[in-house]
């Protein structure tokens, strides 16, 4: 289970490119394609460097005016999907 203190970073393998306001990601290793809207694209950008979920929500909370608990819940869910797709690495807390 992902917690606020969990540190995540995107894996180096997936290729990503901007397509308008979206980011499109292709993982040759997984044979999968993903497209993220505005918020997902911003999270992907922030994952360029290892960062905790709490730090992500601090940034997103100020940029999108979302409360901390909702942000933690929704970002954790999104990151779990990315983890299952093998697009990110989860570092031990």
Any domain includes 66? yes
- Cβ pair 72, 53 in contact under 8 A: yes
- Tell me what pLDDT residue 70 has: 92
pTM of the model: 0.87
Any domain includes 1? no
* Euclidean distance between CA atoms 56 and 43, whole angstroms: 7
- Tell me what pLDDT residue 46 has: 95
Name residues whose C-beta falls within 8 Å of residue 29's C-beta, 6 or more positions apart in sequence: 13, 14, 86
- Tell me what pLDDT residue 13 has: 81
Which parts of the chain fold into alpha helices (H)?
Answer: 38-46, 53-64, 68-84
**How many domains, in total, are found in the chain?**
1
Any domain includes 2? no
- Tell me what pLDDT residue 1 has: 66
Any domain includes 80? yes
Among 46, 48, 50, 47, residue whose Cα is nearest residue 63: 46
pLDDT, averaged per 10 consecutive residues of the chain (93 residues), comes to: 83 85 86 90 94 93 90 93 92 75
- Tell me what pLDDT residue 63 has: 92
CATH of the domain at 47: 3.90.930
């Amino acid at each position: 289970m992902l917690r606020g203190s969990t540190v995540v970073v995107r894996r180096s393998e997936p290729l990503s490119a901007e397509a308008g306001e979206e980011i499109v990601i292709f993982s040759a290793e997984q044979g999968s394609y993903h497209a993220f809207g505005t918020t997902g694209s911003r999270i992907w950008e922030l994952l360029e460097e290892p960062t905790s979920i709490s730090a992500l929500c601090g940034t997103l909370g100020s940029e999108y005016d979302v409360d901390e608990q909702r942000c933690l819940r929704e970002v954790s869910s999104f990151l779990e999907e990315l983890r299952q797709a093998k697009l990110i690495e989860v570092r031990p807390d």
